[in-house]
Amino acid sequence: MNRLLLGDEIVVKSICAVPNGAMRATDLIWTGRVRRIEGPVVTMSVLTEGGAEVLLQADSGNLGRDDHGRWQVTLPMTHRLVEPAQA
């Protein structure tokens, strides 16, 4: 079946800008479920390693299938470099 449905599993990957401005894949990859579809906007629910539920939204035009037939989306994320605190 090619149609996205509520409850479908989805793999969420992320990209972020590096200092030279290029976009690069990060190691943040989650697996979640489709919770809502409103027009072109898809809301997904993923669980973090700490057990928190995070809701993410994407345009349905950015969703596709991976090599294994699972739904996937790559979202741009905002990251910042954090230096360890000195004791």
Q: What is the pLDDT of residues 38-66, one digit of tens each?
A: 999 999 999 888 888 989 999 999 999 98
Instruction: Tell me how crowded residue 35 is: count the other CB atoms within 10 A of its CB.
Output: 17
- Within the chain, residue ranges assigned H as helices are none
Q: What is the pTM of this model?
A: 0.75
Sheet strands (E) in 1-87: 9-17, 23-38, 41-47, 53-59, 64-65, 71-76
Query: Which residue would you say has higher pLDDT here, 27 or 5?
Result: 5
Residue 14 pLDDT exceeds 50: yes
Q: What pLDDT sits at residue 71?
A: 95
Q: What is the mean pLDDT of residues 6-20?
A: 87
